[in-house]
């Protein structure tokens, strides 16, 4: 049984009131008064409601963002002034860390300690990192050669791309919102953020703190609502200059189509099917628990989850048995109970989808080395941590993203095979980890892997300075680092005849 969780006074009060839309500095109901239920994935119960934005609300927020941009409401401040406001957002996130972590726990099913000591400080650091960049956006001077006997002064400058629509999924609501808002604002853009319909709570709180920190009205707008209405309209809208999207590859392709009308800029952080490659000389006492963590953290709902395990045949049995033993012993239950080791999936639909994938693996002949069953009777959306062993390349569970706590394992025999397996078994190319003590082999494999992020003897370590994103069908562009900032800018060249 799930122990009943009593929210803190602040959070209880927030849950009792309907979450609003942030449009032009005002917290508003949806234009037609529509509401969406917000579920707690640990209990399956409705715990609050949020305004469900309409196409009319999209019009209002795009108009507000456009006006703020054209009137230089944000870019009219000095870069140092903008940097100070972003730094203040970080301070406010830290001041309200407990409350935000509690919201993330209740809404997204994250453990409190993970949210409090992981996502919340990471979101704050994201705003600090980009606060520093505000004063460091620079162009270059150029030497011309076209006309030898005349003098020119030529330079490039970076300008904000304009009005940006930022669309994120439910698996890391606060961090994903911050990864987009902070660089977009540092570049000088005006923003419309659409959180996932399931998880608006921490984004709404972040919006309040951003207004409190001094981000001007119209520069930040927040629209909770459905992807097929609000997301789609934002993506089609002729007055939106760029869409930055994190989510599934399927919706990412829809976004490219919808963005065609005004050829808006598009960046996409999409799905993954990241391999964990264990060579026979690896330190297995570290690699085995790390491989389990790479797939079972956040119940596998992580874009860089290590969902395909390839272990050298000399250690394959030991590695598979080791990860399966960890899976079998994991305590699964409510995110509010810190004695649990794996929490819920986000929704009933996601639970069913992941379970269908396990069934498909079973039918195609995978051996269930651990888990494989739904955990009934708890109200929430729980599944056993699952290891599908002895899989092969043609299986759906090996090729497709599952986005749940399901690991496939497969042996390999040579280092020449492994890059082929890792690269060809899936259309994704987001991340990979390599486990070996042989430094040459580590670098050779890192070079051979077609993925945007490769970890050696670790998995899933993010950093604000490190570009994050995918090759192949894992996306276009990168989050984080200077590289993400540039994606919120246009480059202008100016040639002056002297």
Residues engaged in binding ligand NAP (CB under 6 A):
167-171, 194, 196-197, 226-228, 231-232, 235, 246-248, 251, 254-255, 269-272, 303, 401, 403, 430, 475
Decide if residue 102 touches Mg ion (CB under 5 A): no
Decide if residue 104 touches Mg ion (CB under 5 A): no
Q: Which does 107 bind (CB under 5 to 8 A by kind): ligand NAP, Mg ion, none?
A: Mg ion
Q: How many residues bind Mg ion (CB under 5 A)?
A: 3
Residue whose pair of structure tokens reads 């993330």 in the numeric block = 104
Whole-angstrom distance, CA of residue 358 vs CA of residue 315: 25
Q: Which does 114 bind (CB under 5 to 8 A by kind): Mg ion, ligand NAP, none?
A: none
Catalytic residue among 102, 119, 269, 401: 269
Whole-angstrom distance, CA of residue 485 vs CA of residue 425: 32
Q: Which does 270 bind (CB under 5 to 8 A by kind): Mg ion, ligand NAP, none?
A: ligand NAP
- Binding part of the chain for Mg ion, among 13-21, 35-43, 257-265, 459-467 by CB under 5 A, reads 35-43
Instruction: Using alpha carbons, list the distances in angstroms from residue 347 to 18, 25, 40.
Output: 21, 32, 9
Q: How far is the CB of 14 from ligand NAP (least distance, A)?
A: 20
Q: State which of positions 109-138 bind Mg ion (CB under 5 A).
A: none
Q: Which does 303 bind (CB under 5 to 8 A by kind): ligand NAP, Mg ion, none?
A: ligand NAP
Phi and psi for 297 in degrees, rounded to 5?
Answer: -60, 140
Q: What residues contact residue 401 under an 8 Å CB cut-off, 6+ apart?
A: 248, 249, 271, 272, 273, 307, 428
First-residue to last-residue Cα distance in the chain: 79
Catalytic residue among 134, 303, 401, 479: 303
Q: How far is the CB of 195 from ligand NAP (least distance, A)?
A: 7
Task: Assign 221 to helix, strand or coil.
Answer: strand
Decide if residue 42 touches Mg ion (CB under 5 A): no
Closest Cα to residue 208, out of 58, 26, 384, 362?
Answer: 26
Q: How far is the CB of 167 from ligand NAP (least distance, A)?
A: 5
Q: How far is the CB of 247 from ligand NAP (least distance, A)?
A: 3
Long-range (24+ apart) CB contacts under 8 A made by 27-33 are: 28/57, 30/54, 30/57, 30/225, 31/56, 31/57, 31/60, 32/56
Task: Assign 286 to helix, strand or coil.
Answer: helix
Comparing every residue's Cβ against Mg ion, the nearest one is 107
Given candidates 24, 54, 198, 235, which one binds Mg ion under the rule CB under 5 A?
198
Q: How far is the CB of 459 from ligand NAP (least distance, A)?
A: 15
- CB nearer to Mg ion: pick between 129 and 403: 403
Decide if residue 107 touches Mg ion (CB under 5 A): yes
Contact 436, 478 (CB under 8 A): no
- Burial of residue 146 (CB within 10 Å: 0-12, 13-18, 19+) is exposed
Q: Catalytic residue at 303?
A: yes
- CB nearer to Mg ion: pick between 43 and 235: 43
Q: Active-site positions?
A: 269, 303
């Amino acid at each position: 049984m799930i122990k009943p969780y009593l929210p803190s006074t602040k959070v209880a009060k927030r849950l009792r009131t309907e979450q609003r839309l942030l449009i032009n500095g005002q917290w508003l109901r949806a234009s037609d008064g529509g509401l969406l239920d917000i579920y707690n994935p640990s209990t399956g119960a409705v715990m609050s409601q949020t305004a469900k934005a309409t196409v009319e609300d999209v019009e209002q927020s795009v108009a507000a963002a456009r006006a703020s941009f054209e009137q230089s409401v944000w870019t009219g401040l000095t870069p140092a002034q903008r940097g100070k406001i972003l730094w203040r957002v970080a301070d406010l996130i830290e001041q309200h860390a407990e409350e935000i972590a509690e919201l993330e726990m209740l809404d997204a099913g994250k453990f409190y300690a993970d949210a409090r000591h992981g996502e919340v400080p990471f979101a704050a650091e994201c705003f600090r990192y980009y606060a520093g960049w505000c004063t460091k956006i620079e162009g270059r001077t150029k030497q011309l050669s076209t006309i030898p006997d005349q003098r020119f002064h030529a330079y490039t400058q970076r300008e904000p791309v304009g009005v940006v629509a930022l669309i994120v999924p439910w698996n890391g609501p606060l961090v994903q919102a911050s990864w987009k808002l902070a660089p977009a604002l540092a570049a000088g853009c005006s923003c419309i953020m659409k959180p996932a319909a399931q998880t608006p709570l921490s984004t709404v709180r972040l919006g309040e703190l951003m207004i409190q920190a001094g981000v001007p009205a119209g520069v930040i707008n927040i629209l909770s609502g459905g992807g097929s209405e609000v997301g789609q309209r934002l993506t089609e809208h002729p007055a939106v200059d760029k869409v930055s999207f994190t989510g599934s590859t399927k919706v990412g392709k829809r976004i490219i189509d919808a963005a065609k009308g005004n050829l808006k800029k598009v960046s996409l952080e999409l799905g993954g099917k990241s391999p964990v490659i264990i060579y026979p000389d690896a330190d297995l006492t570290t690699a085995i628990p790390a491989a389990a963590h790479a797939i079972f953290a956040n119940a596998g709902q992580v874009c860089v989850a290590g969902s395909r395990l390839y272990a050298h045949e000399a250690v394959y049995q030991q590695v598979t048995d080791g990860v399966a033993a960890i899976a079998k012993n994991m305590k699964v239950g409510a995110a509010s109970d810190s004695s649990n080791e794996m929490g819920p999936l986000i929704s009933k639909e996601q639970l069913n989808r992941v379970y269908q994938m396990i069934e498909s693996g079973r039918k195609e002949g995978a051996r269930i080395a651990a888990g494989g069953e739904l955990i009934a009777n708890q109200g929430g959306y729980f599944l056993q941590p699952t290891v599908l062993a002895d899989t092969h390349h043609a299986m759906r569970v090996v090729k497709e993203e599952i986005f749940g706590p399901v690991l496939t394992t497969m042996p390999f025999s040579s280092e020449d095979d492994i890059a082929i397996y890792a690269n060809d078994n899936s259309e994704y190319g987001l991340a990979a980890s390599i486990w070996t003590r042989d430094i040459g082999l580590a670098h050779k494999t890192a070079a051979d892997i077609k993925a945007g992020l490769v970890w050696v003897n670790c998995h899933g370590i993010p950093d604000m300075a490190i570009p994050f994103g995918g090759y192949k069908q894992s996306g276009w562009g990168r989050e984080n680092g200077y590289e993400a900032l540039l994606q919120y800018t246009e480059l202008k060249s100016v040639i002056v005849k002297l």
